[in-house]
């Protein structure tokens, strides 16, 4: 059983607020009291939309994490030699 199925079964959904909105000329709407800034949107075949809150990680944080990852011990000599070879290549 996947994590999504477990989460769906254990989470009871209740309606907290119901209201009508009008889309502007660019087909945008405003959400009242939105708890998140970013959402993942699912467009359903019946014309409905499902919005799931998302937390986006800034790109700089992702790059820092990638740079902090060390290669496995067995690949370190190869990575070292590759780095040396790249340093010898002419720039420009």
Residue identified by tokens 């420009």 is 92
Do residues 15 and 21 make contact, with C-beta atoms less than 8 angstroms apart? no
Q: What is the pLDDT of residues 47-70, one digit of tens each?
A: 888 999 988 766 666 666 666 677
Q: What is the pLDDT of residues 17-44, one digit of tens each?
A: 899 999 999 999 999 988 888 899 999 9
What's the pLDDT band for 89 if we cut at 50, 70, 90? Answer: confident
Residues 6+ apart with CB under 8 A from 52: 39, 40, 41, 42
Nearest to 39 by CA among 51, 57, 21, 22: 51
Token pair of 92, please? 């420009």
- Model pTM? 0.46
């Amino acid at each position: 059983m996947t994590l999504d199925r477990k989460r769906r079964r254990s989470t009871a959904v209740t309606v907290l607020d119901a209201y009508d909105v009008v889309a502007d000329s660019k087909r945008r709407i405003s959400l009242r009291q939105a708890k998140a800034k970013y959402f993942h949107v699912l467009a359903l075949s019946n014309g409905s939309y499902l919005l799931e809150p998302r937390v986006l990680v800034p790109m700089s944080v992702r790059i820092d994490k990638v740079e902090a990852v060390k290669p496995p011990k067995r690949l370190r000599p190869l990575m070292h030699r590759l780095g040396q070879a790249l340093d010898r290549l002419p720039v420009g």
